Each structure stands twice: as C-alpha cells, then as structure tokens.
Chains A and B, each alone.
Chain A
C-alpha cells in the first residue's frame, strides 16, 4: 500500500510539473517535455497500479503487442506522409 501511495504522490508531482513547464517558453522542448511526463505517468500507473511486474509474463506480451502495432502504424504513416512532403518540394 505504501508503494501505491508514493506512486500517487509522484503522479500528482508530475502533473504539477507538466502544468508549470507548459507555460515556459521552451520552443520544441515543450512538446518533448509534456509527452515525456505523460509517458512517465503512464509508466507509473502500469507498473505500480496495474501490477505488470507481478502478473504472468503473457500479460506483458499483450501490452508489448499493443504498443508495437501502434508503433508500426505511426512509423509507416509518418514515413509515407513525411516523404511525400519532401518529394512535392522538388
């Protein structure tokens, strides 16, 4: 239970940090920082609240599959989209 309470405190701290950082002028780093904080929050929820480490290894496989397919979708979509722009510019 102590672990869960500390995770909750960390989540709230990250939320405050993200609100504070959003209003600082960091240029492109604003996006990077806000997404990095979101990923950290999601990681805490998955590891501590969803007990991913204690579960059967097959549950980790299911999560990795979900993330891998989103990764493939993003990579192929952006590969197409970004290369199309550069060809059109020539």
Chain B
C-alpha cells in the first residue's frame, strides 16, 4: 500500500487536494479564455457583418473534424482513467498514447488551416489581402481567431507532452486503482482543452453559414 506524502493523513485526503488544486487551476483557465470570449462578444455586437465575412474564411468541415478528433480524445482519456480504476494499467497506457496521437492530429489539421490562411492572405500583420470598408474590422475577427486558437493549440501541445508522460507512468505500473492522482489531474486538464474548443467551434467556424 503506497504511503501518502507529507502533510496528508491518508491517500484519500491527498487525492482530494490534488483534485481541488487542478480544479482551481482550471478556474483560472476559464478566466483566461473567458477574457478572449468577452472581447469576442463586444466586437461581434459592434461589427456583426465583419464577423460573418471573417468566419466564412474558416473551413467548416475541417473545424467539425477537429471537434470530432478532440471529442474522441476526451473519450479515450476518460476510458484510460476507468482502465486504471479496474487494474488495467497497460490498457490505460495505450489509450493515453492514442489520446496523445489525436492531439497531434488536431495540431496537424490546424497547422494546415493556418497555412491555407496564409496563402489566402487573411493573417493581419503578416499577410492580409482583404480589401474594402469592412477589411479593418474583419482583421479584428482574425486577430481574435489567431490569439484564441493559438493559445488553444499551445494548450494542446502541452497536453500532448503530459499525456506521453502519463502513458509512460502507466506502462511502468505507477498507477494503482486506489492511487492515481497524476492521471486524474492530467486528464482533467485535457478535458478542459477540449471544452475550450467546443466553444471556439461555433463562435469562429459557424457564424453566418446559413
């Protein structure tokens, strides 16, 4: 039976502390992305037409695929946690590797989107070929789009590294059914990254498609 670390009385208490610490961090993440979504709300209310025009440059089918990829990765991350709880650490290790692969696939698809954006000249400050009265306002849509998706992609990248470390720990047999706090908090982080994208998808890809 593993011993709890100081200053905890028992493993259950240590586990609760780890969970609460992660949820407190996730609350700050909600605020971080919340600021970007608040800015989005104000600017979209100011210039709805510019946001429709900007959103039409994003790739709706690719955005839907990216959403599907991240939803799948969230499912396999949750599955990995269940596997550890049922004393199947190797199954969890493979599931975590699969989850990380989904994260890499997401980054690959999104990188392809950025490349396409560059070629069609919709990156303000780098290559921006939009013309007309609405072009400066549309640029604001794109700036918000790149800041939000850029920071989200950074979170995915960090998540992929974490998932690989967790997979290694799982294969090494570090996770026991009654003691697996790193896996629990690591997967919590991954789910939050998924949730941020769940809101990015309708706000940046689905505007004015009808």
Q: Interface residues, chain A, CB within 8 Å of chain B?
A: 1, 4-5, 7-8, 11-12, 15, 18-19, 22-26, 30-31, 34-35, 37-38, 41-42, 45-46, 48-50, 55-56, 58-59, 62-63, 65-67, 69-70, 73-74, 77-78, 81-82
Contacts and interface: CB of A to CB of B under 8 A. Distances in A.
B69 to A, nearest CB: 11
A22 B209 contact: yes
Interface of B: 16, 19-20, 23-24, 26-31, 34-35, 37-38, 41-42, 45, 60, 64, 67-68, 71-72, 74-75, 77-79, 82, 187-188, 191, 194-195, 198-199, 201-203, 206-207, 209-210
A10 to B, nearest CB: 10
A64 B41 CA distance: 21
Contacts, number: 126
Contact of A1 (B20, B67, B82): B82
Given A4-B79, A25-B210, A59 B19 contact: yes
Contact of B198 (A23, A42, A69, A81): A42
Contacts of A1: 79, 82
Nearest to A15: B67
B8 to A, nearest CB: 14
A49 B78 contact: yes
B71 A42 contact: no
Contacts of A7: 75, 78
5 contacts: A22-B210, A23-B210, A48-B78, A69-B27, A73-B34
A73 B37 CA distance: 11
Nearest to A58: B20
> By CB atoms of chain B within 10 A, which of A18, A34, A50, A63 has the most?
A50
Given A55-B19, A69-B31, A45 B191 contact: yes
